[in-house]
Amino acid sequence: MGKALIIGAGGVASVVVHKCCQNPDVFEEICIASRTVEKCEALKKKLDGGRTKIQTARVDADNTEEVIQLIKSFGPDVVINVALPYQDLTIMDACLATGVHYLDTANYEPPETAKFEYSWQWAYKKKFEEAGIMAVLGCGFDPGVTGVFSAYALKHYFDEIHTIDIVDANAGDHGYPFATNFNPEINIREITANGRYYENGEWIETPPLSEKKVYDLPEIGPKDIYLLYHEELESLAKNITGIKKIRFWMTFSQNYLTHLKVLENVGMTSIEPIVFEGKEIIPLQFLKAVLPDPASLGPRTKGKTNIGIIAQGTKDGEPKNYYVYNVCDHQECYREVGSQAISYTTGVPAMIGAMLMIKGTWMKPGVYNVEELDPDPFMELLNTKGLPWQEDFSPTLLD
Ligand code: NDP
């Protein structure tokens, strides 16, 4: 049926590649392209021989011209960008130049500042409309499934949603004193930034990790959750009509936070360049180089993740509460695709989004966040492609 160009060959890309190969009727051909071609070749070696034909290529996705040449030579229907957020705009430019659809899992980030905002990518809306191509932004789990969950709640259970709390819990244990579950640079930038949430039309800032609650999560138990800013808050505050308050919460263990505090205090999480032995380095990038590679955590991680949204609002004039969540087991993911649950919960939705685009189910020119698209076909595929969800109509609320 279709061809996908997958850019990136890290933890998330590996899951996308496995899941595309599990669905050869849709993904007849894929090309895995990344900066380090050996990683693409290693993935091909693992999965070759099935019905999905696999090619590999070396590409520096910071260079639009290189991406254009690759798209022209492979001829994909869609580009799945699972490289880093820094490459979003160059890849979108290449898609515009070649008339190919685009999907990613993280908003564009300028390398020199941590912003977590969609403004740069939303500015492409008109250009994508005029070119007759589609971009789906933030199609991982959070952002991604959390937006689909929100759209599904609004479509089926509410007339108005007033409050959304996104709760992202990882109760996995990899046995290292300190490691991040996905790209350490992106992860640490996210956590060390100020917290922020939306209430009554305003954004309220909180010092990093200063707001804490304990929440008892299904299949995981009580956990400390901390308020963070997360990029889907921006698009959900805009796209979920009637919303008055939206917050994002993530679990961290005391051990993780102690390590992070020390690293921060000694300057290792900074993105300001410093000169070391005559060479300019960015401390956070150096830290990334000494931390365990997230892709290596797969075989060691035990336990589950639980990510969901708690929505409060009204239906037929009556107050209504709703919790929808997915529980994912690290070891089951590892058995299936050789990755831990963080990469799995990101890669599966990216594959589903691309599948819906190739099938034409999600297809309209322009630039969209997932909650702007019909949630129903996506929710069905979550259940059948590895991320089944559960509902609770009388959840414990956070306040
Ligand atoms: P990794 O660091 O494991 O992998 C990133 C890959 O991108 C590597 O293969 C890297 O190549 C490649 N890459 C980096 N720069 C370039 C470039 N200039 N040109 C070509 N390839 C490049 O990251 P993850 O797999 O953990 O994360 C991938 C994406 O998913 C990130 O954007 C992350 O923010 C996002 N994410 C989204 C989540 C969600 O729920 N929405 C959750 C988790 C992650 P090399 O091997 O040479 O370094």
Distance of CA 13 from the midpoint of ligand 1 (Å) = 7
Its CATH class, for the domain covering 145-338, is: alpha beta
8 A C-beta contact, residue 225 and residue 167: yes
Mutate to test the pocket of ligand 1, among 84, 116, 170 (most ligand atoms within 8 A of CB): 84
Q: Is the ipTM of this complex over 0.90?
A: yes
Query: How close is the Cα of 312 to the center of ligand 1, in Å?
Result: 34
Whole-number pLDDT of residue 116: 84
- CA–CA distances in Å: residue 72 to residues 36, 68, 358: 20, 6, 18
| 394 close to 118: Cβ distance less than 8 angstroms | no
Q: What is the dihedral of CA 6, 9, 10, 12, to 10 degrees?
A: 20
CA angle 346, 375, 388 (to 5 degrees): 50
How far apart are the CA of 80 and the centre of ligand 1, in A? 11
Q: How far is the CA of 336 from the centre of ligand 1 (A)?
A: 21
360-372 burial code (b ≥16 CB/10 A, e <16): eebeeebbbbbbb
CB 180 within 8 A of CB 284: no
| Rounded (10°) angle between helices 341-359 and 375-384 | 130
Residue 186 Cα: closest atom of ligand 1: 34
d(CA 34, CA 30): 13
Q: How far is the CA of 315 from the centre of ligand 1 (A)?
A: 41
Give me the average pLDDT of each 10-residue run along the chain (399 residues).
96 96 98 98 97 98 98 98 97 98 96 85 98 98 98 98 98 93 82 93 96 97 96 97 96 92 94 95 94 88 97 97 98 95 96 98 98 98 98 97
- The response to whether residue 139 sits with its C-beta less than 6 Å from ligand 1 reads no
Burial bucket for residue 321 (CB in 10 Å: 0-12, 13-18, 19+): middle
Q: Ligand 1, closest atom to CA 11?
A: 25
Cα dist from 48 to 2, 79, 255, 334, 385, whole Å? 17, 20, 41, 19, 20
Question: Would you state the pLDDT for residue 379?
Answer: 98
Assess whether the C-beta atom of 209 lies below 6 angstroms from ligand 1.
no
Angle at 67 between CA 112 and CA 357, to 5 degrees: 100
For a pocket test of ligand 1, which of 183, 230, 293, 306 has the largest count of ligand atoms closer than 8 A to its C-beta? 183
Reference 245, options 192, 306, 194, 313; nearest CA is 313
Q: Is 346 in the pocket of ligand 1 (CB under 6 A)?
A: yes
> DSSP states of 367-394 as a string?
EEEGGGS-HHHHHHHHHHTT--EEEESS
